[in-house]
Structure 1
Amino acid sequence: MLLHHILQGKSPEVISVTPDETMLEVLRLFRDNNIGFVIVRGAPGECLGTLSERDCCRAIAEYGTEAPLMRVADIMNLSVPTCSMHDVLPVAMAIMTERRTRHVLVMDGDTLAGIVSIGDVVKHRLEEAMRTEQDLHNYIAGVSYH
């Protein structure tokens, strides 16, 4: 399955924050939107980095009680994993595994097309497994077999 097919089934909205927001503001955004990852944007269309729940945990472990009031620019991840919207799902899975991340930015050239999360991977792999199981059942039962 191509990544652009996965993105077609998702909301086109990508939630982003500015580098000047605080970690506490981002954590509230995570809570309010039931998410754990945002893009840090500069100028329109510019991705400066990302911030995840894991990045926030690291900041708390390193800076303690100062962390929630720190600027996103000071704790964001600058090493952003990306792939192409024309890549197949296993490419995104490999990137997630190699980089030990739960999110990969999907690019259409230089433009952000969307985000694929580990949850998206599991959902699509489960659907694929269920289709395969149903196809095998139909084959064995002689149903819908040509």
Structure 2
Amino acid sequence: MHVCQILKAKSPELISVTPDQPMVEALRLFRDNNIGFVVVSRSPGECLGTLSERDCCYAVAEYGTEAPKMRVADIMNRSVATCSTQDFLPFVMAIMTERRTRHVLVMDGGAPVGVVSIGDVVKHRLDEALRNEQALHEYIAGTAHH
């Protein structure tokens, strides 16, 4: 399965924050949108970095009560894990494993167009397993369509 197929099944909106916003505003965005990852940019189509819940946790562990007031630019991830819309799901899974990340930013022509999360991966792998199980049941019962 291609990444573009995964993106079609998701909300197309890519949520972003500016580098000057305080971390607490990003956390409110996470809460309000039920997400855990945003792109950091100053304009559409730009990616200066990313911010995840994990980045925020590390900032709190490092800076304590000052962390929520810190600018996103001071705690964002600049080494962004990326893939293209034409990459296959196992490739994205390998990136997640190698980089120990739960989110991979999808790029198209140098611009961010979406995010594949670990939840997306699990959903699509589960759907695939259920389809295979159904096909085996139909084969065993002799009801499979040829």
TM over 0.5: yes
1:25-63 residue CA offsets vs partner (Å, 9 max, x unmatched): 111111111111100012331100000000000000000
Partner of 1:91: 91
What stretches of structure 2 of length at least 5 have no aligned partner? Answer: none
Q: Is 1:143–2:143 an aligned residue pair?
A: yes
Q: Secondary structure of 1:47's match? A: coil
> For residue 64 of structure 2, what is the aligned residue in structure 1?
64
Residue 35 of structure 2 is matched in structure 1 by: 35
CA shift, 1:111, in A, is 2.0
Output the CA distance in 1 between the equivalents of 2:43 and 2:120: 28
In the aligned structure 1, how far is the partner of 2:34 from the partner of 2:135? 35
Check whether the contact 2:40–2:49 (CA below 8 A) recurs between aligned residues.
yes
Of 41-50 and 10-19, deviating more is 41-50
Q: Which residue of 1 aligns with 2:10?
A: 10
Q: Which amino acid is 1:88 matched to? A: F
Query: How far 1:110 moved relative to its partner?
Result: 1.1
- Quote the offset at 1:106 in angstroms: 1.0
Structure 1: gaps spanning 5 or more residues:
none
Secondary structure in 1 aligned to 2:48? strand
* Moved beyond 3 Å, runs of 4+: none
Partner Cα separation in structure 2 for residue 77 and residue 121 of structure 1: 22
- Please tell me the residue identity of whatever aligns with 2:93: M
Percent of pairs with identical residues = 74
Q: TM-score, normalised to structure 1's length?
A: 0.97
- Name the SS for the 1:31 alignment partner: helix
Query: Normalising by structure 2, what TM-score?
Result: 0.97
Pairwise CA distance, 1:144: 2.6
In structure 2, what is the equivalent of residue 45 of structure 1? 45
Aligned length: 146
